[in-house]
Structure 1
């Protein structure tokens, strides 16, 4: 099994062509699912402009077909939220 980097909202990525696309494309991750991610397409070949328009500049792509070009900064966890979660667990 191939290990890959985690995907995060805001990552700038490239994705392999599929379905109606004639060329690979790029964009930013809007949402990350378990096995795929929603890409907001902003970098594409002119030959795919009709496809991109029809798809409202968005495509759901398999995680294995995504390559991260620039990772989004991952925010540090808020210690106050962690303490609130611990206190809530203790009440149960």
Structure 2
């Protein structure tokens, strides 16, 4: 598994009330998790993302490196 770094673009797996996976940029790294600034999400999850101030904390194992969208 590649090392996650601040600024990496990742896909976060759905959890809790999220119905779909989401994509975003890592803002902070913790011991076992990362803080993701959500940049892309399904329309069904938009209200929840807004309530979370466009951020989510996910386990490192659930953050998959992606290439940034153009």
Q: Give the drift of 1:5.
A: 1.3
Choose between structure 1 and 2: higher helix proportion. Answer: 1
Pick from 15, 18, 25: which aligns with 1:18?
A: 15
* Map of 2:2 onto structure 1: 5
Q: Give the drift of 1:70.
A: 3.2
| Aligned partner of residue 67 in structure 1, secondary structure | strand
Choose between structure 1 and 2: higher strand proportion. Answer: 2
RMSD in angstroms over aligned alpha carbons? 1.2
Does residue 62 (structure 1) correspond to residue 59 (structure 2)? The answer is yes
TM-score after normalising by structure 1: 0.71
* Map of 1:44 onto structure 2: 41
The structure whose RCO (Cα within 8 Å, separation 6+) is larger is: 2
Structure 1: stretches of 5+ with no match in the other structure: 72-92
Runs of 4+ in 1 over 3 A off after TM superposition: none
**Residue correspondences, number:** 68
TM-score after normalising by structure 2: 0.93
- Superposition pairs of residues 51-90 of structure 1, within 5 angstroms: 51-70=48-67
